[in-house]
Structure 1
Amino acid sequence: MAHYIVVIIDILRRIKMDTNEIEFIKAYINKPKSEDFYIDAFEAYSAGGIDQFKWKWSWWAFGGGIFFLLYRKLYVEALIFFMLSAITSQVPVVALVVWIVSGALFPYLVYLRYKKGKEMVLEKFSDKIEQLNALREYGGYNNWAIYLGVAVNILMLIWLTFMITLFAGLPNGTDMMQMDINGGGF
């Protein structure tokens, strides 16, 4: 019974949003598993015809961070987030807040890029098929960002393991620089 209620609510929600808009969002996202999330999010962001931020949580954005932004072709935003992360990493509480906020903010950045792309596509093309194809090309995703994220995390784990192994063998209170200066070595 609950499943049918969810389906009915979904149908009513989609009736509210223009059919063309749903097609444009699907073309831009270009990933069937993610379409429903983005349709819901984009509808919330544009409620009442006014673009505004709403808290729409994405675990992928939260956990993926910069790699989520690269995945969704938000390159400038990825650079800004990288610099912000580097700066805030000095204060762990601030870094945690930035990390948490990214889980809700990054989908909104995807929405803003979608709006910009849709506007450019509608100006350039009058044929709907061309518009959808252009949105697919402008939007979509970069699979390489996932591979990059996995590679970076594996390298970080290797580095962390190496550092733990290196420091685990030192007696408590041993200063590595002092050992090297006095010829103690490792």
Structure 2
Amino acid sequence: MEQKLYQNEEILETYLGTPEKYEWYKRAFAKYEVNGVEKIAWNWSWYSFFFSYIYLIYRKCYVEAILLWIFQTIVACTLGIAGIVIMILCGGFLPYLVYKKYKKTAMEVENIDGDYQKKLETMRELGGVNILARNIMIGLFILSIIGILSLAAFAVAAAL
């Protein structure tokens, strides 16, 4: 049986764009497939636990990040403590979303015309990480924390 492009280790390493994280993702992605059959599996990531939508933006999963941010905001505003449950689920399952995007991208690239080198370059461009977007989101996250703390301090001072 012919190896699929997404099963190629060089393709995975190129797509990830973070050689220092390659082994972690390789082990994680191995959990998501058994004998060619895809499955959902738990794989813990502290990064996705604490910074769920920032993690997705860093990994160029923009639509998923926006949807998760909306969902987390609604849950936090309406259900409060249930937010920790969402954080735990994000910590265990967001790497699976990265795998799904990787696999989908690799399967699309597999069908393009061109030699292996062209496919490798395409995976490098479509994958990788977005450091600028991550840093912007971290800055906005910090500003929102400062804003919330300022409003709380103002409310306490006004009550006195």
Instruction: Name the structure 2 match of 1:177.
Output: none
Post-superposition offset of 1:73: 1.1
Paired residues of 2:48 and 2:94 also in contact (CA < 8 A): yes
Equivalent residue pairs, number: 154
The runs of 4+ residues in structure 1 deviating greater than 3 Å are none
Instruction: Name the structure 1 match of 2:118.
Output: 130
Instruction: Name the structure 2 match of 1:115.
Output: 103
Alignment RMSD (CA, Å): 1.8
In 2: Cα distance, 1:80 partner to 1:167 partner? 31
In 1: Cα distance, 2:158 partner to 2:51 partner? 35
The TM-score with structure 2 as length reference comes to 0.88
The TM-score with structure 1 as length reference comes to 0.76
The structure with the larger Rg is: 1
Instruction: Name the structure 1 match of 2:20.
Output: 33
Higher RCO (C-alpha under 8 Å, 6+ residues apart): 2
Deviations 1:96-127 (A, max 9, x none): 11111011111100100111110111100441
Deviations 1:54-111 (A, max 9, x none): 1111111111111111111111111210121122112123221111101111110010
Tell me which amino acid in the other structure corresponds to 2:52: G
Residue from 69, 74, 79 that aligns with 1:87: 74
| 1:106 corresponds to 2:94 | yes
The sequence identity of aligned pairs, in percent, is 29
Paired residues of 2:54 and 2:138 also in contact (CA < 8 A): no
In 1: Cα distance, 2:148 partner to 2:93 partner? 29
Instruction: Name the structure 1 match of 2:50.
Output: 63
Say if 1:63 and 1:145 are closer, same or farther in 2 by CA, change over 3 A.
farther
* Structure 1: gaps spanning 5 or more residues: 1-17, 173-186
In 2: Cα distance, 1:160 partner to 1:151 partner? 14
Tell me which amino acid in the other structure corresponds to 1:33: E
